[in-house]
Amino acid sequence: MGATLSGVVVRGRELELVWSDHRPGSVLPLLWLRDNCQAPESQHPETRQRLVDTFRIPADLAAASATIEDGGRTLRVEWSGDGHISRFSAQFLAALRSNPETLPVARTTWDRAIASAVPHVSYEGFMAEDGVLKEHLEAVARYGFCFVEAVPGTPEATRAVATRIAYIRETIFGGYWDFTANMEHKDTAYTSMAIGPHTDGTYSFDAPGYQMFHCLAADCTGGENMLIDGFRVAEVMQRDDPAAYRVLTEVAIPGQYLDYSRGVHLMARRPLFRLDDSGQLVQVSYNNLDRAPFVLDPECQLAFYRALATFDRLCNDPALQYRRRLLPGSVLLFDNWRVLHSRDAYKGYRRLAGVYLNKEDVESRLRFLRVQAGEAV
């Protein structure tokens, strides 16, 4: 049973809510309640967009009455003047937060031990059942990555996995990309060289939220891939070297992508560990190859290099890496705001396909699947 109300008291221009359980009482301004009224005249029943003109709500707004209905499950407010009635579910009122999470997630950070229980789903179930799709996206939200296994080794199947989730993001690399070590773009990924731990798009204001890989051919030696949980690295740094962690939350690092032959020079800045307004880590952003030249005052510059070296050392620690050679049939989706990826050098022929997906689109899909399953979002 959800939260229920046991009483309500009008106190001037506020309502005080009394809950049936032991939680503290809530106080809500009358202005807020009228502004967030969910009656069809106040909120469009299909778009859920506000129809109330917030700035025409009377300054002397008053409640004629406030009562509890449906055994404590509903708050009813009748407004003075026009007699309009607003109803709010207790569940809605109990879930209100000053800084609500856009997608509540119980994250689990990991190290190389994840190899014993790698999150994965089947291609057949993923494509046919919303429950399996939800299982996959819940795993990505919790761990930062999940595989789809037994995928046909074709570009069409790769695209199908991506578009089952959301539309494909267009970037300077196109939308769907399918390449070998051909230097089609000025990026180390388009070579057979080793690539160190990094996230993509440090030069983009809105770095791609998710990245998908599907190796379509691997007639080569070497080329093993590594995944690193950037949130786990942050935990280790915050515990063992809080000063270095703090530096990487404060210094905005510029990233850039240069390809003058195509008229491209992208550039953006943000801290390696980006925090939200409540101080929680929301994004890891790191690519030492794409870091643009910038200067700090000497003392801060040395502290920055030391912190960056600590982060890089942890990312290259095998104890914090999940290693796997990507082969045809396994599609990997991972959170590019959390999981760093790298690759060993290889010799021979390797064909890799993939896409970027926007953060908000993947989260939107999961949010909808939760509603469809009757869960709170």
Q: How many CB atoms lie within 10 A of CB 310?
A: 20
Residues 56-72 as b or e (16 or more Cβ within 10 Å = b): eeeeebebeebebeeeb
**Same topology between domain 5-94 and domain 112-372:** no
What does the domain layout of the chain look like in residue ranges? 5-94, 112-372
Say which residues have a Cβ less than 8 Å from residue 196's Cβ, sequence separation at least 6: 288, 289, 312, 315, 316, 342
- In order along its 377 residues, the chain shows pLDDT tens digits of 578 999 999 999 999 999 998 888 899 999 999 999 999 999 999 999 999 999 999 999 999 999 999 999 999 999 998 999 999 999 999 989 887 778 889 999 999 999 999 999 999 999 999 999 999 999 999 999 999 999 999 999 999 999 999 999 999 989 999 877 654 544 555 666 889 999 999 999 999 999 999 999 888 887 789 999 999 999 999 999 999 999 999 999 999 999 999 999 999 999 999 999 989 999 999 999 999 999 999 999 999 999 999 999 999 999 999 999 999 999 999 999 999 999 888 888 889 999 999 999 999 999 999 999 988 76
Looking at residue 224, its pLDDT comes to 87
Alpha-carbon distance 63 to 77, whole Å?
7
How far is the first Cα of the chain from the last one, in angstroms, to the nearest whole number?
17
Structure tokens at 259: 């390809």
User: How many beta carbons lie within 10 A of that of residue 262, not counting itself?
Assistant: 10
Phi, psi of 351 (to 5 degrees): -120, 120
Query: Is the CB of residue 151 less than 8 Å from the CB of residue 161?
Result: yes
The listed CATH number (3.90.1300.10, 3.40.190.10, 3.30.310.40, 3.30.2020.30) that belongs to domain 5-94: 3.30.2020.30
**What is the model's pLDDT at position 264?**
94
The CATH class that applies to domain 112-372 reads alpha beta
Quote the tokens at residue 323: 């290693």
The per-residue pLDDT for 127 is: 98
pLDDT at residue number 186: 47
CA-nearest of 144, 343, 117, 146 to 226 is 343
- Write the DSSP string, 198-254: E-S-TTSTT--SEEEEEEEEEEEEE--EEEEEHHHHHHHHHHH-HHHHHHHHH-EEE
From 136, 193, 185, select the one nearest 164 (Cα to Cα).
136
